[in-house]
Amino acid sequence: MVDHGAVWRRLESVLGPKGFSRDPDRVSPKLSEWRDRWRGQTPFLALPSTTEEAARTVQICVEAGLPMTPQGGNTGLVGGQIPQGEVLISTERLSAIREVNLADDVLVAEAGATLAAVQDASAAVGRRFPLDLASAGSATIGGLVSTNAGGTAVLRYGTMRHLVLGLEAVLPNGEIWRGLRRLRKDNTGYDLKQLLIGAEGTLGLVTAASLKLTPSLASRAVAMVGVASPQAAVNLLTLTRDIVGEDLEAFELIGRLGIALAVRRRGAPEPLRDCPPWYVLIEVATARTAAAPLMIETLLTEAFDRGLVSDAVIAASESQAKALWALREGQSEAQKGEGPVWKHDVATPVSRIAEFVETASEALQARYPGVQIDAFGHVGDGNIHFDVLPPIGGDWNAHLAAREEASRIVYDLVVAIEGSISAEHGLGVLKSDAARAYKDPSEVHALEAVRRALDPRRLMNPRVLF
Ligand SMILES: Cc1cc2nc3c(=O)[nH]c(=O)nc-3n(C[C@H](O)[C@H](O)[C@H](O)COP(=O)(O)OP(=O)(O)OC[C@H]3O[C@@H](n4cnc5c(N)ncnc54)[C@H](O)[C@@H]3O)c2cc1C
């Protein structure tokens, strides 16, 4: 029998008065997330302020056999950071920027530092941390590492897997792994850092990361164009790569429904007069002063000549660029009030995006007449948010009830074309079972063996992954 009172007293003495809480006002914001889809409970909130305190916390929990859930900014959308009775370890007080080194082009941040803080610290020294996403003000480095976050510029810079050079972490046995390397080349066998990236807190608590910095960019241009279909968008992507090469920063597809909802919600003007069936937001950014506008004009001239785009607008100012981006970033927000949404965050080979959108739309509309398809996403990464709204005037409860069956239809189609059921956000509680079902059994067995080896009693975030 575990003497919980004794465990809490040990943790309290290690963590100090600011390092823990059982006060409901302090704890409850960490037990639900912004959409209120997940709600949880915890007997103890640990708030370590050093790696050593974090390690002692894990050791004490392991000795007592108590499961733990790590939490960063609580922006995850799949329930992985919300405890259901586990000890909650928050990185809120582990938020220092430890070092910025321009010779190495590296920034070392603690796990609880927000993405916005890291972006600001990089800009302050004339560099850039190029990962960006709409939750930057709250999402933390530890959470971004643990979900292998992507965002809008993956086609240029990659996901966290490509941007992390080293990690420091408390492993599930309570040992500290001091792996804050900053090497571009380290060819010494298995890569523990890559195992921890995307592990969603199951293989340890990340306490700090060394992050790759990139040069800052001198000039950028943003355009919104109209295209006839997802296939036309893919063709335009190929042309864009031919013309602007490495300087393509973002290439985002949005369907007409998504634009209409965002325009209505924001009270914004229609971006394109001809209201095309599909929109592409293109951003070109380059280190060459003032070069981006010319590049985007050259691209659009060629695209019109080839009949790839029907209409286009180039942002004439920073505020117009922001307004165009707001239509893209406000996509999830714009769905509020439209009823329960079947959300699918999937990836396909870029060459098969159009096939996926077409077949999945047809399959769902045949099975559930009237459902509204709201597809948008990062075309350059093959990442589509395939969201499905209830029919106009339809029964929202019936729509909600059909969610699981509908998702199976979507996932079957995506896997059939060599795609993935999760492109962003990780698996969490929401998708772990589905991922297990769709992955090759040999892969699942290998991954289970890795986890068992590091955490034989499955104490770290026990409800997620394999
Ligand atoms: C508006 C909005 C837009 C978003 N856009 C994107 C997007 O474009 N791309 C994208 O990839 N994601 C996106 N997300 C999802 C989310 O922001 C990311 O998943 C983010 O990486 C989570 O960071 P966090 O600090 O909030 O982690 P949390 O939500 O607190 O945790 C997420 C997971 O990581 C684990 N974890 C957290 N910290 C640690 C740690 N230190 N050590 C070990 N495990 C840890 C948790 O246990 C949980 O499993 C978006 C979310 C919102 C709300």
Summarised one tens digit per residue, pLDDT across range 246-279 is 999 999 999 999 999 999 999 999 999 989 999 9
* Residue 102 resides in a domain: yes
**Both 231 and 154 in a single domain?**
no
Tell the residue nearest (CA) to atom 52 of ligand 1: 135
Q: How far is CA 281 from the centre of its chain?
A: 19
> pLDDT-based confidence at 424, cuts 50/70/90?
confident
| Residues 413, 312 within the same domain | no
Last residue of a domain, one of 68, 90, 112: 90
Q: What's the domain count of the chain? A: 4
pLDDT (mean) for 77-98 = 96
297 domain residue, yes or no: yes
CATH number at residue 47: 3.30.43.10
| Pair 325, 350 in one domain | no
Whether 205 and 128 share a structural domain: yes
Residue 294 lies in domain: 219-330
Mapped onto helix, strand or coil, the DSSP state of residue 404 is helix
What's the gap in Å between 139 CA and the centre of ligand 1? 6
Same domain, 236 and 314: yes
Cβ-in-10-Å burial (0-12, 13-18, 19+) of 162 comes to middle
Which pTM was predicted? 0.93
Is residue 48 in some structural domain? yes
Give distance in angstroms: CA of 150 to centre of ligand 1.
10
| Domain identity same for 223 and 320 | yes
- pLDDT at res. 38: 87
What Cα–Cα distance (Å) separates residue 437 from each residue in 117, 405, 434? 38, 15, 5
Residue 35 has pLDDT above 80, yes or no: no
Same domain, 397 and 352: yes
Q: Are residues 376 and 324 in the same domain?
A: no
CATH number at residue 237: 3.30.70.2190
* Distance (Å) from CA 3 to ligand 1 centroid: 33
Q: Which of 190, 215, 240 represents a domain boundary (last residue)?
A: 215
Region 165-194: what's the mean pLDDT?
96
Query: By mean pLDDT, which of 421-425, 443-447, 450-454 is the weakest?
Result: 421-425
Say yes or no: 178 and 206 in one domain.
yes
**Within this chain, do residues 345 and 300 fall inside the same structural domain, yes or no?**
no
Mean pLDDT of 48-69: 98
Res 41: pLDDT: 95
Domain-terminating residue out of 193, 215, 237: 215
Any idea what the CATH number is for the domain that residue 365 is in?
A: 3.30.70.2740
- Statement to judge: residues 10 and 51 lie in one domain: yes
Specify burial of residue 109 (Cβ count, 10 A radius: 0-12, 13-18, 19+): buried
Ligand 1 atom closest to Cα of residue 142: 41
Tell me the pLDDT band of 152, cut-offs 50, 70 and 90: confident
pLDDT for the residue numbered 328: 93
Q: What is the dihedral of CA 229, 235, 237, 241, to 10 degrees?
A: -170
